[in-house]
Amino acid sequence: MQLLDGEIRNYDWGSTSSIPSLLGRVEDGQPWAELWLGAHPSAPSLVGATRTPLDELIAADPVAELGPEIAERFGSLPFLFKVLAAAAPLSLQAHPSVLQAEAGYAREDAAGVPIDAPNRSFRDRFHKPELICALTDFHALCGFRDPGATLDILATIDTSALDPIRDRLAASSGVDGLDSLLEYLLMLPAGDAAALVAPVVDACGVPGPDRHADVRAMAAALGERYPGDAGVVTALLLNLVHLKPGDALFLGAGNLHAYLGGTGVEIMANSDNVLRGGLTTKHIDISTLLEVVDARPIEPVVQRPVAVEGVASYDTSVPEFRLDRLELDGSATVSGPAILLCIDGVVDAASRTLERGAAAWLSAADGAVELRGRGAVYRAGVNL
């Protein structure tokens, strides 16, 4: 087992304090949005004293690092593990399926868009299902709400500006109606979007009934940060989810979502493909987003696993990754390939010590490793 240094991403929505606090580092005033732990070629973690990039280490001997089954099936580490710390909302976004990612990557390659270009949407050929597990209170938008429930929410927002939205929702017939409404909102000319959003935000900002006050407060906050952005009204169509520490949410391909605030660990397929539709200063690709969004109404499933012998396991339903939380008060045995992240306490393993914020790479060749101590460790691994 070798210690692992992750890559910091300083996106503008990030917290200035949460990840530095976890890592025991001095705040520098910059937003530390994400800590990447993995082998994605755009930001691979550095392994051990030699600081070898993890993707290069795996490529040199995939069977030893990943084991024969995973090496044969995936060829490289199939997941990316992150700490995500949002002080402000992330973009309104969705991720592609495998087929959509392959087609989008080929299309942008053929158009000559550089991999690292700000206007590139597909940076690899992989899908990006993901699971977010809260370390603090965490708020998110996740998938479309049933239109009837959304109409009940809109009834508490006192503005006629929403009448066209109410009419479309009332006339909607399931997914087709929501698809059409989403396209209508995101394709509004800037002036029309501003004329819609401003009165909605104003109406959400005044005292109203207790019913759905949290949704109105969310829209008012988004409108203050992104004035005139049609994504503010789009957010009213989505499920608002509150995760408490230890709760998790799995998001599959096409799920329109946005993380609004909080710190969590996130695991996903080893991809950086994001289609954005608003609430961001980054590249927006509405036409492609509309191609990948799944507008079927859903009831988000919040996972609250009960620990069995100190291990809580989260369901991901995809082969690329799984996540376990180990609550140690003594010992536990783990095996690789896996990335370990200590978020509390002190844990000894294979002559290494993992304190709060420390991460390690555990290869398949390391075999079973005993963790000893008292603390909390997340294990990111493959779901085979």
d(CA 185, CA 6): 38
d(CA 370, CA 187): 55
Q: Is 276 a catalytic residue?
A: yes
Question: Residue type for 197, please?
Answer: V
d(CA 210, CA 61): 59
Residue 322 has φ and ψ, to the nearest 5°, of: -145, 160
d(CA 162, CA 151): 10
Beta bridge partners of 263: 85
Beta bridge partners of 133: 248, 265
Q: Which helix (H) or strand (E) holds 20?
A: helix 18-23
d(CA 353, CA 364): 20
Cβ 32 vs Cβ 14: under 8 Å:
yes
The angle at the Cα of 342, spanning 26 to 16, to the nearest 5 degrees, equals: 30
Hunting for tokens 């992104």 — which residue is that? 226
Q: Which of 145, 276, 325, 379 is catalytic?
A: 276
DSSP 83-100: EEEESSPPPEEE---HHH
Cβ 338 vs Cβ 322: under 8 Å:
no
**Summary count for the chain: helices (H), strands (E):** 12, 20
Q: Give Cα separations from 328 to 194, 309, 315, 336, 343 (angstroms).
A: 52, 9, 21, 18, 12
Q: How far is CA 365 from the centre of its chain?
A: 30
d(CA 229, CA 175): 23
Question: Residue type for 302, please?
Answer: V
Cβ 105 vs Cβ 125: under 8 Å:
yes
The answer for residues whose C-beta is within 8 angstroms of residue 103's C-beta and 6 or more apart is none
Query: Which residues are the active-site residues?
Result: 276
